[in-house]
Amino acid sequence: MIIVLKPGATPENIEAVKQKIVDLGYKPHEIIGVERQVIGAVGGDDHRKDRLQVLESMAGVEDVIPILKPYKLASREMHHASSVINCGGVEVGGNTIALMAGPCSVESREQLCATAEAVKKAGANMMRGGAFKPRTSPYSFQGLEEEGLKLLKEAKELTGLPIVTEVMNSTEVDLVARYADVLQVGARNVQNFSLLKELGKVDKPVLLKRGMMTTIKEFLMSAEYILSEGNRQVILCERGIRTFETATRNTLDLSCIPVLKKETHLPIIVDPSHATGHWDLVEPMARAAIAAGADGLMIEVHPDPINAYSDGPQSLKPEKFAALVENIRPFIKLMGRTL
């Protein structure tokens, strides 16, 4: 439920309302807007009007509104304005398009630093790279782990680009958080609830990728796990879903962008590399994602895709990425945004 406070509500009024929310078995979540302040009450399943009546009569309260969506904190019912997430100095969800680029896997200092410098020169404002790699086969390259995180830190020091990298389980959250600006949850972990809860306790942005067979409702409920633990810095990422089609690696669900924009205040970016699985399809889908209203893109770039340790076929060479950036600029301008 949402408790709308009167403009003249005092700090004492607000504290009394928050305590009553706790007494009723809910968790209070304050949201301070430009014109109004509201308190979200989350955690209970009973939204009967008679249960809420006591809050309506309290000093400083203007109205009490039940939230009908199962995802309370992620819903626009709770938070009408679109959220803008600060990721190491880059705002995601605002007027600027977030452009995250880099290799699927961190392989070496030379590979990572060369890629970092190339994507920065081309116009990327964030660096992506995997130190821990969840793979379908246990015999595939699994990443350099902490050594990879150290190399990502070096790349950041070299270019100034904030780092996005994946965390795979709850025991590694603190380790990855020491190096990364944004903690990524991969598609295979979208419903790893113990991991999501742990990420809800850190003060770092979380990039949550949609699972291969995750509905939009399930996707937002996964975001809710992070939000409900206190971390409001969640970015959603559409990376393709599994369908009967085999021409592409996955099927990019562009329709989810306007749906999510209607349902949630959280920013949404698109990963056309994983969605298509083919480097030559990345640029058309990047243009389409921007036109559909995405807040950013995540694109795989590698200096030598043929010899990449993972996802070579979908990775762009640096010169191809530079061309992509120039070719999406008109679409970014058309949407009234900047890069």
> Which CATH superfamily hosts domain 85-334?
Aldolase class I (3.20.20.70)
> Residue ranges of the domains in the chain?
2-65, 85-334
- Higher-confidence residue of 136 and 111: namely 111
Among the listed ranges 30-39, 93-102, 308-317, which one has the minimum average pLDDT value?
30-39
Return the CATH number of 2-65, one of 3.40.630.10, 3.30.70.1140, 3.40.50.2300, 3.20.20.10: 3.30.70.1140
pLDDT at residue 141 is higher than 60: no
Q: What count of other Cβ atoms lies within 10 Å of the Cβ of residue 78? A: 23
**CA neighbor of 20 nearest in space, from 46, 73, 49, 58:** 58
Q: State which amino acid sits at residue 173.
A: V
- Per-residue model confidence (pLDDT) at position 25: 84
pLDDT for 52:
67
pLDDT average, residue stretch 115-124: 98
Question: What are 210-241's pLDDT values in tens digits?
Answer: 999 999 999 999 999 999 999 999 999 999 99
Query: Is residue 156 within 8 Å of 106, Cβ to Cβ?
Result: no
Alpha helices for 232-296 (secondary structure H): 256-263, 272-276, 279-292
Torsion angle (degrees, nearest 10) of CA 160, 165, 167, 173: 0
Q: pLDDT over 90 for what percent of the chain?
A: 77
Report yes or no: 38 and 4 within 8 Å, Cβ to Cβ: yes
φ, ψ of residue 174 in degrees (nearest 5):
-65, -40
Question: Which pLDDT value is given to residue 205?
Answer: 98
Query: Given this model, what pLDDT does residue 42 score?
Result: 83
Q: What is the pLDDT of residue 26?
A: 86
Q: Would you state the structure tokens that stand for residue 198, as one six-digit string?
A: 């742990």
Residue the block writes with tokens 């020169």: 121
Read off φ and ψ for residue 18, nearest 5 degrees.
-60, -40
What's the pLDDT tens digit per position in 251-293? 999 999 999 999 999 999 999 999 999 999 999 999 999 999 9
How many CB atoms are closer than 10 A to CB 322?
18
Neighbours of 303 (CB within 10 A): 17
DSSP assignment letter at 317: P
Instruction: Give the type of residue at 210.
Output: R
Instruction: Count the neighbouring beta carbons within 10 Å of the beta carbon of residue 70.
Output: 12
Q: What is the rounded radius of gyration, in angstroms, for the C-alpha atoms of the chain?
A: 21
Report field, pTM of the whole predicted structure over 0.95: no
49: helix, strand or coil: helix
**Pairs from 245-248 (Cβ < 8 Å, separation ≥ 24):** 248/275, 248/276, 248/277, 248/278, 248/281
CA distance 108 to 170: 26
* Angle value at C-alpha 89, between 190 and 28, nearest 5 degrees: 55
List of E strands, the chain: 2-5, 27-32, 37-42, 61-65, 85-87, 90-92, 98-102, 126-128, 163-166, 182-185, 206-209, 234-238, 268-270, 296-300
Q: What SS3 state is found at 296?
A: strand
In this prediction, residue 133 carries a pLDDT of 62
| H or E, element range at 297 | strand 296-300
- DSSP class of residue 315 equals P
